Amino acid sequence: MSRPQIFPWPLRLLHWLMAVALLGMLFVGVGMVASVEGSQPTLVAWHKSLGVVLLALVCLRLVLRLLLPTPPLPADMPGVQKLAAHASHWLLYALMFAQPLVGWAMQSAAGYPLVLFGQWPLPALLAENAGHYSLLREAHAWLAYTLFATILLHLAAGLYHGLIRRDGVLEAMLGKQRPL
Amino acid sequence: MKHSPLPASSQLLRFGVIGVVVTGLAAGFAWTAGWVGPQRLSAQAFVDRFEENGGVHPGYRRAHAKGLCVSGWFESSGAAAGLSTAEVFQPGRLPVLARLSIGSGSPHTPDIASPVRSLALLIEQSNGEQWRTAMNTPPVLPVGTPEAFFEQVGAMRPDPATGKPDPATMQAFFAKHPESASFLRWAASNQPSSSFATTRYHGIHAFNLIAADGSIQPVRWALQPLAEAEPLQPDGDPNQLQQEFSARLAQQPARWQLLLTLAEPDDPVADSSQAWPAERAQLEAGVVVIERAEAQLGGACQDVNFDPLVLPSGIQASADPILRARSSAYAESFRRRTREGAPQAAAQPEQGAKP
Ligand code: HEM
């Protein structure tokens, strides 16, 4: 099977869309839990709805990732680096699933109704339970910090490939075909 | 595919660029979270200040710590159906889960020692949306901004000698905040009644009712008791109001009329320290009927966060900055107390009335 040099466009589109959205969610998230500004309730409402949309997007993305052909890592990359690359990519997928699921579940455990964009009521994922709420609430914070740290590492690695190794890995996600 | 290797100096520069990008993002994140940078007024600072005043009582709410779980229903008259699409205002009956409480941050305060009484409601609609509202006895707040309110909570810190706020500090605070005049007039004329059931509760903030055609009507709501008020006679029981309420329910349910006061175009809708003119039109939106009470520990209201911004479509928050600050402070209090776990009923014998 021949593998392409660059990621197929649906995966590139989802990658950059979700990169911006996830960073936005992380910044808005830590900002809004401290904020007593007038914008706070609006930010929380958007955070919840956008979070659910991101859960749908990561489902779509995983299916496409498993179905579509993806470029291989450069053959001359050291084994440890390859292992680290694969491990961090699947960690990112795991966190992108867990984070919005935990957010939704913690709303359910606290007994708050969840209405997507103020229009579509969503079902509760869990029964009301204050103990479960507390665990999920702390998990939503710690998973978020882990997600942010992993994104930073991933970003540093991507820039390392693009600026230092210059081995086509960054270009594969930017969509730049290289002359053969 | 190989590039010629970079000279050492430009490789160093590129590593520097990567470092700046990554640490810049991390620093921005820490700044947004408030972990570094200037001290900002935060939900955490509010709850800390409540804890400084009332003490930390693990598992209890950080404000209005002592209360009674009650339940019943709301019988909507339909009088507000033309102003709001919310199901709560269409004619009909919906279940109510509620909580009666006093203003103190300590669960051990005697019922009649607190000047503020509260009734918080959770009304669940058939589509799963909810209307939560936490109402207090004063019709207005002394001040109109979160910053001034934060200062007020600081001024209310109990004097260790008396266990009460220092009157001189409070006076200085009110003098500095002339917008408190309306609140002070209420405080001077308020006669506490003998019962939670004969107390009038106010939503204080303006909320916007949204009609089917999209038109917006700002309102303030209040619960007007339907039973005759009698003056308070202290009987020495620290749970006097809870006992009275439970005993009353054995005879008949407690009932309040839900009154909606309609703002006119120039009324202050974003300042909870300012009253509206007395002649404003009022609607009788329905009757809240409470027929059961139970101790809060183990009761149905214990794990409910009465966040006043949980609203069904058809009701929206106004621009009132204190209303908009409440939600995150409530969330922080809820986070702290659920992390501590529910208090043990046996350890708090003075808590709650017998159901
Ligand atoms: C990928 C998606 C998501 C990301 C990256 C994310 C990130 C965050 C972050 C960083 C925080 C602040 C945590 C803290 O500092 O304590 C937060 C808080 C919060 N998140 Fe999310 N979140 C996501 C999805 C969701 C979803 C789907 C929901 C609900 C449906 C949700 C509801 C909330 C709520 C209500 C808070 C504030 C909790 C409080 O004030 O106690 N989040 N989120």
Rounded to two decimals, the ipTM of the complex is 0.95
Give the residues of chain A that fall short of pLDDT 50. none
CA of B85 to the centre of ligand 1 (A): 29
- Which residue, by CA, sits nearest to atom 17 of ligand 1? A29
> Between A180 and B334, where is the model more confident?
B334
Instruction: Return the pLDDT at B355.
Output: 37
Asked if the structure places residue B4 within a domain, the reply is no
Instruction: Return the pLDDT at B174.
Output: 96
Asked if the structure places residue B257 within a domain, the reply is yes
Measured distance CA(B173)–CA(B147) in Å, rounded: 13
Asked if the structure places residue B8 within a domain, the reply is no
Domain with residue B301: its CATH number is 2.40.180.10
Six token digits for residue B153: 């909570």
**How many domains would you assign to chain B?**
1
Measured distance CA(B101)–CA(B124) in Å, rounded: 21
Residue B246 predicted with pLDDT over 90:
yes
DSSP string, B246-314: HHHHHHS-EEEEEEEEEPPTTS-SS-TTSPPPTT--EEEEEEEEEEEEEESTTSTTTT----TT---TT
Residues with CB under 6 A from ligand 1: A 22, 25-26, 29-30, 33, 44, 47-48, 51-52, 54, 99-100, 103-104, 107, 114, 137, 140-141, 144, 147; B 331, 335
Q: Which domains does chain A have, with CATH numbers?
A: 9-174 (1.20.950)
Residues of A in contact with B41 (CB under 8 A): 36
Asked if the structure places residue B43 within a domain, the reply is yes
Instruction: Return the pLDDT at B245.
Output: 96
| CB contact set of A22 (below 8 Å; sequence gap of 6+) | A54, A96, A147, A151
Nearest to A52 by CA among A105, A12, A109: A105
- Who among A41, A110, A163 is closest to B305 (CB)? A110
As a whole number, mean pLDDT of residues B263-272 equals: 96
Asked if the structure places residue B5 within a domain, the reply is no
Mean pLDDT for chain A overall:
95
Instruction: Return the pLDDT at A170.
Output: 95
Q: What is the pLDDT of residues A87-119, one digit of tens each?
A: 999 999 999 999 999 999 999 999 999 999 988
Residue B354 predicted with pLDDT over 50:
no
Asked if the structure places residue B176 within a domain, the reply is yes
What range defines the domain where residue B218 resides? 14-347
Instruction: Return the pLDDT at B181.
Output: 96
Instruction: Return the pLDDT at B350.
Output: 45
Measured distance CA(A38)–CA(B320) in Å, rounded: 8
3-state secondary structure B55-91: CCCCCCCCCCCCEEEEEEEEEECCCCCCCCCCHHHCC
Asked if the structure places residue B319 within a domain, the reply is yes
CA of A26 to the centre of ligand 1 (A): 8
- Which residue, by CA, sits nearest to atom 16 of ligand 1? A141
Write the CA distances from B140 to B243, B250, B274, B307, integer angstroms. 28, 33, 7, 18
Q: What is the pLDDT of residues B197-218, one digit of tens each?
A: 999 999 999 999 999 999 999 9
B203 and B221 in contact (C-beta within 8 Å)? yes
- The separation between the first and the last C-alpha atoms of chain A, rounded to the nearest angstrom, is 18
pTM to 2 decimals?
0.93
Residue with tokens 């955490």: B44
Residue B352 predicted with pLDDT over 50:
no
Residue B347 predicted with pLDDT over 60:
no
Residue B182 predicted with pLDDT over 70:
yes
Residue B324 predicted with pLDDT over 80:
yes
